[in-house]
Structure 1
Amino acid sequence: MATSLSLTIARRCLPFPAKLALSILPGLVVLGAVEVVLRLTGCGYPAGFFLSTDRAGQKTLIENTRFAWRFMPQQTARAPLSFQFPEDKPHNHFRIFVFGESAAMGDPEPAFGFSRILQVLLEERYPALRFEVINTAFPAINSHVIREIARGCAECDGDVWIVYAGNNEVIGPYGATPAFGSTAPPVQVVRVAAFLSRFRIGQCLGGLARKLRARQPANSAEMTELLLSRPIAADDPVLRRIYANFENNLHALVRMGLNARARILLNTMVSNLKDCAPFVEGEPPPLPPEKLAVWQTSLAEGTRLFEEGNTEMALARFQQAYALATNHAGLQFRLGRAFLAAGDTNSAKYHLQSARDMDAFRARADSKVNEVIRRVSQSYRQERLGLIDAEQAFNTSSPYGITGAELMCDHVHFRFSGNYLLARLQANAISKFIPRQSESQAEWLDQEACARRLAFTDWNRYRFATALRRQISGNLFRRQINHREQDARLQNEIQSLQNAIKPDAMPQQIAAYREAISAMPHDWVLYDQLGNYLLAHADRAGAAAAWTNAIQIAPHAFTPLYKLGLLLNQPETASQALTYLLKAERLRPASPEIHAAIGTAFTHIGKPADADRQFKLAIALDPASEHARIAWAESLLNRGLTNDARQQLETLLMFNTNSLQAHLRLALFYAGQNQTQNATKHFTEVLRIDPNNETARRCLSSSNTRSNTATRPEEPGKTSNLAPKPQPR
């Protein structure tokens, strides 16, 4: 009794901080115990951007492919590029970190992104130094995520931090869409969420919260449709919070870099102004009915006159509409193009920039984002922080002084020429930080020399153009008023590169790869590119050897593991394929394409139950996955379960009525059942999507559809047709 009373009196005598500590201590102990149990039982995932591993007795840092799970649903989260570098920086190494989103990563082909060109430029100019250019950028992230990446980089002894970020502030995590969580919450709320996600308890709670929300987008196409359904006008109040959050995050990143004794290079953001029309022009202006009718008529007549080549009259009609209302992205773009055709480049640039700023699909950094970047750069001592005005440099290097398709491949991503220009801007700035004893008098490599060093050949240009043309056939780009112009430009480019895909070009192309590999024998990306080329030209053994070499150099790299697994995923080599696919699955367990490929391998080796389990996992991750449903249908068909196979294909068409592969396989299925009417319907759909499809044309021209059932669509370089080649997420 006396002891208890003494303890009570003692507690009352304690200062308030001590009382508070005693009151929360039991809760902290419980939370700590739960955290330990979750880690021991394998719940959750590593929270840091880097993972430590051992390479030939040396501690090495590699990417954490699950890092983005902290900020977005697993099925839509993207992974960083594969890299590896010593945990302890050697004496003669110069370490550069690149921060940003898909444009900084090098999308649509990171093998030729500006960070790769930058490394070539620096190594050639300063051969006494070993340059490590570590690209931490990846798609669908923004400054909230980049801030956490920078936290990890601050401990890695970087010499220079390059920041090229700002395109995804509105459409990325904690932006204006609730797909990733709350809509533009205060930055303090985001920081608390980011802090909690470092712990397994926070990860589990975050995963549970996402499951309790309405169904989240399962893939990038669904995400795009969600964003299109929720346009953000230039005067939306949510943008003020987004700009403020971006500025807060940028300041935090700069302070982390400076405290880590790195030099910081901030870049303004580049957009395709001249050749990229707004994705969402916006609603008609709020005018009285009679004025609105005049505005709409002037816009329509101006558009018609401009297409007919009557620039003067078109400009007059657009100006008539502009006098009534200015806040319409489509009108601004039309005015800009008309002024450009009339030779008034200053007015053209003003209106084209206004069109970008008013685009309600906010996937391009606007003027206010660049204002934030410039303002932040002025807040620090310039000897350790530099501003690279990439926006101005690209305009200066472009025809008419307006950035367009000469340097850009779409709205924000670069052609090789654009990546080279951005790399040169960084290289010029970095040269001021190079130790004097390492200075070189050599000139910077020109664009063509860099292309040779990275094996960027005409075949790559052809592949790049065809992939880009497929991309702009999607709903997002078809909305643009100059879509036909963009498509025609790419058609002409593809036609001009036809010689690159002819058989007699192969020796020269192979020589280009061999030359690049001999100069950089430890670059796994070059072997990956060689594998792509050899497979496209039906050299399966050569492709397998190339990807095997890539894996030997970078055993943790997802891409060569996945591609080699797909290549070997044939009945006679399915067991080998499983080895690589299962390793790839451990790196990206939320990829439906990988689970579908594993399902196909299990089908080949005669394990249907295991196959179905993998296909179900793939469908659970993305019910609309074309690859997963077609692969499952082929697996079912090989087991004689024809009705189940048909059901998978028909379900796919419920999600995607334009799936050529589903229509083609259903047409062949119905032809095999002698159901001519149904077969004809699906063959007709195939020709609607692809007018040059030989299988559909041949079968439709035959009087007896059933006689063509043995015909199956073949893919280049493959001996079986289980599914369209998937793109890893």
Structure 2
Amino acid sequence: MSRTVQSNGRTKTTVFALIAISLPIILIVILEAVFRIAGIGSAAYREFVPLPGREDHLAMNPDYVARYFPSFVPAVPFTPFLKDKDDFTFRVFVVGGSSTAGFPYQFYHGFPRRLAARLEAVSLDRRVEVVNLGMSAVNSYTIWDLRNAIADADPDVVVVYAGHNEYYGSFGAASTVNNVLNSVRLKRTVLRLKRSVIYSALERLLSRSHEADTDRTLMAQVVKQAGIEKDSDLFNRGIEQFRRNMSDVLMTWADRGIDIYVGTLVANLSDQAPLGDNIEARMAYDSATSLLGRGEFVRARQGFVVARDLDDIRFRAPSEINDVIRGFDRIDGVTVVDLETTFAQSAGNAEGDSLFIDHLHPNHTGYDLIGEIFFRELYAGNAPTFLDVSEYRIDRLDSLAAAMQIARIKTSYPFVKGASAEEEMAAFQQYLSAVRSELLAPTAESIVRGDAVMPVSLQETIQSNPPDLSNMDKLLLYRSLANWQPLNVPLLTSAINIALSDSTFDRISGEIAAMSMHRNSDVNSTNALAAIRLRQKQYDYAGFLLDRVEAAEPDNVVMLFNRARLLVVQGDTAQARLYFDRYQSASSANQ
């Protein structure tokens, strides 16, 4: 009897204990549900949101990406895409870190836009969308977090260029940001918890006491542990988290039937000495430099690779990350794109300042090369000629702003060690004083300091029409502004009309017209592109575009005139006469 009473007592105690434990959890779940139903914090839990005034398009939600950093929000390229994808749309998503975002330039000078320009130029029967999700200081955890949302957006292709930030990016193995006991499982759990209204509110409350040091660069702020020796436990954790996260990501996309292109990583080898203090790394770099000077290019490159891999400040990914990437070709649907080998060949086995602007970010030439390589791979080596490519140029304003950003970085850790924030700013001020006399430099400086934003500055510069700017400079500014406003048909039309006045601008005006045509499907852009292709003697291309306009507007005056011109060139003078007569009749009717 007493045993039965004792047993019942223990059972009741256990039940009460379970209730006591469960009740707070149940209350939290109920409270979370109430917040969700009430829409509290809902804006931060959608990866993509409609554009204001253009709800038929979606873009990356800046409130969502705030979850990856406690004290700042990484900028996301503005590359909107249709909410409801149709059968005629070819959609490409591009994911990665700051090199994917185009740093230190604006996003439209990065390789995703260079890829998009090529695809737009040759895709006549499909609407091209290239959605750039590159963000500074993010790594494979961010891509893992976004994997399902990207798959649900129904891309035909996903391009991946990632791996440099596995140590110092958000959730990185040696980062100050979201470093959760260096456990892949725990870090993924935190990412899941960040979808909770209650958890996010508590996190924001706690993070208020850890505001960012705005006087230091992001590179200086994110390093929790330097001196990561090759093959150490921490070194291997960075490699393993990349392998696990990206394997899951790629399998998720492959299972959804998405074609995936993963690029091997590139970095400045010959013109970037080791950032850390590892003596062996410095000796390897000095030896490779001597070999390069003697013309022993293959051995020199091998030495530069060793120096990078031994560099114990891990902003540049070691060779082991590329080894992991090359292993992904075993996954069905994944194509590994060997950027590293092509860069080495392009630079004579000495990748340096000819292709890079700092330790790992390509310059505008390097970004254009990456865009070209991915473009060729998407066409399986049979890509048609890209009509609007030449030596790629960026606008003067962004060129100055990018140079200033690099100058600021190179006055700080890890390029300069032991300097105070005041000493860093003094060195940066000295650089600014030397360049302030350059045209548009004050505007660029305001952008870098955060006192102005690029799209507004572009608009104001175009409107002020500085007399010292050449017509080419003005057109490049127009092209940049058009990337900020890709759905603004009047702006795009103005840019195209300026460009059409001079055939020497055809390569740039062709890019603007093709972008507008793919974004807006408007007749004016199609007509303009047809006229440009006529001047470039691309007659089949011009004919296809004119067919499209004629199907939409049979009496379009511009189309009729250009059709007559095309028929004359093709030797069909009878048909040319008929179209010219129709042109004259339509012109008279419009007067």
Bin for the TM-score computed over the shorter chain: 0.5 to 0.7
| Matched residue SS, 1:251 | helix
CA deviations 1:493-524 (Å, max 9, x no partner) are x99x9899994443342245558889998366
Partner of 1:51: 49
Report the Cα distance in structure 2 between the residues aligned to 1:201 and 1:68, rounded to whole angstroms.
17
Partner of 2:99: 103
Alignment match of 1:476 (pick from 413, 425, 435): 413
Partner of 2:220: 225
- Under a length normalisation based on structure 2, what TM-score does the superposition of the two structures give? 0.66
Report the Cα distance in structure 2 between the residues aligned to 1:504 and 1:171, rounded to whole angstroms.
43
CA deviations 1:231-271 (Å, max 9, x no partner) are 13223311212211110111111012112221010111001
Q: Is residue 2:234 matched to residue 1:238?
A: yes
Change (3 A) 1:99 1:512: closer
Report the Cα distance in structure 1 between the residues aligned to 2:224 and 2:19, rounded to whole angstroms.
51
In the alignment, residue 186 of structure 1 is paired with which amino acid?
A: S
Report the Cα distance in structure 2 between the residues aligned to 1:220 and 1:262, rounded to whole angstroms.
43
In the alignment, residue 122 of structure 2 is paired with which amino acid?
A: R
CA deviations 1:151-183 (Å, max 9, x no partner) are 211101100000000010000122233522335
| Matched residue SS, 1:221 | coil
Report the Cα distance in structure 1 between the residues aligned to 2:299 and 2:41, rounded to whole angstroms.
58
Change (3 A) 1:515 1:388: closer
Q: Is residue 2:315 matched to residue 1:357?
A: no
In the alignment, residue 104 of structure 1 is paired with which amino acid?
A: T
In the alignment, residue 60 of structure 2 is paired with which amino acid?
A: E
CA deviations 1:682-716 (Å, max 9, x no partner) are xxxxxxxxxxxxxxxxxxxxxxxxxxxxxxxxxxx
Report the Cα distance in structure 2 between the residues aligned to 1:385 and 1:150, rounded to whole angstroms.
15
Q: Is residue 2:480 matched to residue 1:509?
A: no
Report the Cα distance in structure 2 between the residues aligned to 1:106 and 1:225, rounded to whole angstroms.
20
| Identity, % of aligned positions | 23
- Superposition pairs of residues 121-132 of structure 1, within 5 angstroms: 121-132=118-129
Cα deviation, residue 30, structure 1: 1.9
Give 5+ residue unaligned stretches, structure 1. 1-8, 13-19, 285-327, 434-439, 481-486, 532-553, 555-729
Partner of 2:256: 260
Report the Cα distance in structure 2 between the residues aligned to 1:166 and 1:426, rounded to whole angstroms.
17
Give 5+ residue unaligned stretches, structure 2. 1-7, 12-16, 418-427, 442-464, 496-518, 520-591
- Superposition pairs of residues 593-632 of structure 1, within 5 angstroms: none
Q: Is residue 2:338 matched to residue 1:389?
A: yes
Report the Cα distance in structure 1 between the residues aligned to 2:84 and 2:320, rounded to whole angstroms.
39
Q: Is residue 2:33 matched to residue 1:36?
A: yes
Cα deviation, residue 87, structure 1: 1.7
Partner of 2:324: 372
Report the Cα distance in structure 1 between the residues aligned to 2:281 and 2:84, rounded to whole angstroms.
51
Report the Cα distance in structure 2 between the residues aligned to 1:519 and 1:69, rounded to whole angstroms.
24
In the alignment, residue 350 of structure 2 is paired with which amino acid?
A: I
Change (3 A) 1:511 1:153: closer
In the alignment, residue 149 of structure 1 is paired with which amino acid?
A: L
Aligned residues: 443
Cα deviation, residue 419, structure 1: 1.0
Tell whether the 8 Å contact from 2:180 to 2:187 is kept in structure 1 after alignment: no
Q: Is residue 2:400 matched to residue 1:463?
A: yes
Report the Cα distance in structure 2 between the residues aligned to 1:259 and 1:154, rounded to whole angstroms.
10
Q: Is residue 2:390 matched to residue 1:448?
A: yes
Q: Is residue 2:342 matched to residue 1:346?
A: no
Tell whether the 8 Å contact from 2:165 to 2:315 is kept in structure 1 after alignment: yes
Alignment match of 2:379 (pick from 431, 437, 440): 431
Partner of 2:80: 84
Change (3 A) 1:407 1:460: farther
The ranges of structure 1 where at least 4 consecutive aligned residues each deviate by more than 6 angstroms after the TM superposition are 20-25, 497-502, 515-521, 524-528
Tell whether the 8 Å contact from 1:99 to 1:164 is kept in structure 2 after alignment: yes
Alignment match of 1:422 (pick from 370, 377, 393): 370
Report the Cα distance in structure 2 between the residues aligned to 1:35 and 1:499, rounded to whole angstroms.
51
Change (3 A) 1:144 1:522: closer
Tell whether the 8 Å contact from 1:175 to 1:184 is kept in structure 2 after alignment: no
Cα deviation, residue 459, structure 1: 2.5
Q: Is residue 2:408 matched to residue 1:408?
A: no
Partner of 2:275: 279
Alignment match of 1:333 (pick from 285, 309, 314): 285
- Under a length normalisation based on structure 1, what TM-score does the superposition of the two structures give? 0.54
Change (3 A) 1:520 1:441: farther
| Matched residue SS, 1:254 | helix
Report the Cα distance in structure 2 between the residues aligned to 1:514 and 1:464, rounded to whole angstroms.
17
Q: Is residue 2:125 matched to residue 1:135?
A: no
RMSD of aligned alpha carbons: 4.1
Report the Cα distance in structure 1 between the residues aligned to 2:88 and 2:19, rounded to whole angstroms.
51
Partner of 1:181: 178
Report the Cα distance in structure 2 between the residues aligned to 1:195 and 1:229, rounded to whole angstroms.
24
Cα deviation, residue 21, structure 1: 12
Tell whether the 8 Å contact from 1:125 to 1:442 is kept in structure 2 after alignment: yes
Tell whether the 8 Å contact from 1:44 to 1:204 is kept in structure 2 after alignment: no
CA deviations 1:47-86 (Å, max 9, x no partner) are 2321245655x5432221122332321x233132223212
Tell whether the 8 Å contact from 1:420 to 1:447 is kept in structure 2 after alignment: no
Q: Is residue 2:173 matched to residue 1:192?
A: no
Q: Is residue 2:245 matched to residue 1:249?
A: yes
Tell whether the 8 Å contact from 2:410 to 2:416 is kept in structure 1 after alignment: no
Report the Cα distance in structure 2 between the residues aligned to 1:527 and 1:234, rounded to whole angstroms.
53
CA deviations 1:63-115 (Å, max 9, x no partner) are 21122332321x23313222321222022110000010000111111221111
In the alignment, residue 470 of structure 2 is paired with which amino acid?
A: M
Tell whether the 8 Å contact from 1:268 to 1:370 is kept in structure 2 after alignment: yes
| Matched residue SS, 2:87 | coil
In the alignment, residue 202 of structure 1 is paired with which amino acid?
A: Y
In the alignment, residue 479 of structure 1 is paired with which amino acid?
A: V
Partner of 2:562: none
Report the Cα distance in structure 1 between the residues aligned to 2:483 and 2:175, rounded to whole angstroms.
48
